[in-house]
Amino acid sequence: MSRIPFYLKERLENLRERVLHERFEASKLPVWERIILTWAPLLAFWVVISANLEPRNLFLGATVTLIIASFMRDMLTEDIRRTGHVLEKLLYFTFLYLPQYLIIMAFRLIESNLKVAKNVIFLDIHPGIVKIKTDLHSDTGVTILANSITLTPGTLTLDVSKKLGETYLYVHWIDLETLNREKAGEKIKGDIEEWLKKVFW
């Protein structure tokens, strides 16, 4: 490689980058499917928020959300793992994954409320800031994981850092149990990361 002249090297780098980009673009869904997948949630949100079902209002909402969806077609579907067919994935998501996540988070939220009440009464806190590693890399996945960690009992996310292709989370833990990174990660993340790894990359 070092024998290649400078200008050729630069062009080779450009070519490699373009091939990577094209492969990434080619592995996406076709454009109209992405537009429809973004349009449906936006239209549902419009109907729920405006709360009247006159045809004129529905037509206005459909037009505006279609324009927005055609601009921002990568907003919702970009960070989702690309395996299997779209319909299969959608059915799995609505009937299996989403209720599972809601049930897990509801019980965790109740548990964390009771734990905060217990901590307020007895003041038996022993706080510390630990660093844990996650296997998620996309922005949406890391955001949902950090928010879920904040709502689980006794933990609060401080910061996210991405170094050398790995993602780390700094977590303020109100009742420090262990300093080992793997054990702390297991205790803090629980089964939420397993769930998120099925949907997001």
Partner 1 sequence: MIETILLLFGGAVMLFGALGILRFPDVYTRLHAATKCDTGGAMSIILALVLMMDAPALVRLKFLVLAFLIAMINPMVSHAIARGAYKYGVKPKVVVDMYAWDNP
Considering beta carbons, is residue 38 or 157 the nearer one to partner 1? 157
Of 187, 69, 63, the residue nearest 132 (C-alpha): 187
**At closest approach, how far in Å is the CB of 132 from partner 1?**
10
Residue (16 or 133) nearer to partner 1, CB: 133
Q: What minimum distance in Å lies between the beta carbon of 185 and partner 1?
A: 13
The one-letter code for the residue type at 5 is P
SS3 161: strand
The owner of tokens 């949907």 is 199
Residue closer to partner 1 by CB (options 69, 130) is 130
Contacts for 187 with CB less than 8 Å, ≥ 6 apart:
177, 178
**Residue ranges binding partner 1 (CB under 8 A):** 45, 47-49, 51-53, 109-110, 112-113, 116-117, 119-120, 123, 125-131, 143, 146-147, 150-151, 153-154, 156-159, 161, 170, 172, 174, 176, 179
| Helix or strand (DSSP H, E) at 130 | strand 128-134
Nearest to 161 by CA among 175, 184, 142, 140: 142
Smallest separation (angstroms) from partner 1 to the CB of 21: 31
CB nearer to partner 1: give 92 or 168. 168
How many CB atoms are located within 10 Å of the residue 48 CB? 8
CB of 105 to partner 1, least distance (A): 8
User: CA–CA separation, 123 vs 7, rounded Å?
Assistant: 67
* 18/162 with CB nearer partner 1: 162
Closest contact distance (angstroms) between CB of 1 and partner 1 is 35
Residue 4, token pair as written in the block: 């290649």
Taking Cα atoms as reference points, which of 168, 169, 194 lies closest to residue 101?
A: 194
Q: Is 167 helix (H, G, I), strand (E, B) or coil?
A: strand
- Residue 102 C-beta: closest distance to partner 1, Å: 10
- Taking the least distance from each CB to partner 1, the nearer of 20 and 179 is 179
